Structure 1
Amino acid sequence: MASWNSHSLHISYEVLGWLAFVCWSISFYPQLILNFRRKSSDIQEQYKDKYGHEEMIPVAANDVAFSVHAVLLTALTLVQIAIYDRGDQKVSKIACGIVGVAWLTAAICFFIALPKHHWLWLLSIFNGIQVSMTLIKYIPQAVMNYMRKSTEGWSIGNILLDFSGGIGNYAQMLMQSIDQGSWVNFYGNIGKLLLSLVSVFFDILFMCQHYLLYPSSKRGTKSETPLEEEAQDAKSSDKPLAENV
């Protein structure tokens, strides 16, 4: 296989390629955000009627972009679950039941809000469902880490990034509140506030588990495979490995 003759040209090639990727990827969002804003004037009016017409709408463009991005990546994850080998793993009946209840609740509330266009109320319901799903999502991992007394095979990088995003979200809300001289930005978007609160709480818990409660020094630097364990047992018992196999 041919290789690059110039290292600098190779680096430039990679940089330009990833720059194109980023630009093309981001290019999908402005139109989606614009469409959302043009269709959301009724919701904005309902918000102003409830919290005051002088208050700023506490939904930024990055909130919309994140939601779209999260949905796309979650859909991709579901596709991976469907096409990759899962062994004997399968989605539990409890998980299916929770998802079914969430979708049923969303559908019922949608048809309740539809006749009188109570979209702000419907969004608050969706926010509640989102917070509930986030809470349910984190609990099993925290319990599993506790039962195993280990975080082996689990990425702490995801938690560090999630924690950084939660802190950044609070900082963003704080700056808007300071600028406007009002705290409506916090309780006027209670779903966003609670979602970040739940995420930050569990992120701190996971970091404590990974770095303080079950650090790598306690887990050991490397776990042994079954064959390595048999070899170690054979040595300790002065028996040939073949007899144990």
Structure 2
Amino acid sequence: MVTKSQAELVRQRRQLSAWLHEWNLEQRLRRVDMGAQGRAAESGPPAAPSNAYPRQGDIAPGRILLLRPRPGATHARPVYVLLLAELGNGVCLIAPFGRFSVPALPGEWRTGRKAAPLRVLCLWNTRGVLRSVLEAGWPAARMSALKMRQAFAICHGIWQSDAPGPAPGGNVGPPLRHPLDPRHEYIAEELDLMDAATAIPGSPSARQPAGSPFPALYDWKPEALQLAAEQKTGYGKKSGQ
């Protein structure tokens, strides 16, 4: 008879195998497409129409936003983030969505969303950013109140004990144990990407280390997220459109 712990170990191994398949495929594509990436970096990001910027109500907990591209930093991949909380003094707490469809780490969570860029939320890479960074981007979608509660449960687990909280259906990634695991390289890349995507010239990085939670997280009230509940609008559309 297979025990619960044995079944979990099998699940973790299968999930890691699936992630490694995507990682290895990406590495091969990178080697083939280095020239194309260089040309994209030289051309810079496309300009956006002024009316595409978020309205005041678009910057609120539960909103998913597309960050404005930065030349030489985010040209190869759009960066979507979830606004978790507003901390005051113009600082917002955000978590980025990952580039793979499979969670790589215990701090990555499969959201259940169908849109490819929004399938995995990287809660381990949560950080504080200036509100102006989000105001320069574009609104994309909303996260439901239920999903926000699940995300915060994982956040609390990460910051309190360096281990994620429970996720329904085992929708978080496998543990990182081996020093030569390519996920170490992946973590470094994602940290650097978010540093570049959210940096303000002349300002230090607001990266938030594990074990030092923002106090605002402990004042969080689930009912405050009702306004962020997902509306019945298509992906990428504003309500009323």
TM-score, normalised relative to structure 1? 0.27
- Higher strand proportion (structure 1 or 2): 2
Select the structure of larger CA radius of gyration.
1
Q: Which one has more relative contact order, counting CA pairs under 8 Å at least 6 apart?
A: 2
TM-score, normalised relative to structure 2? 0.27
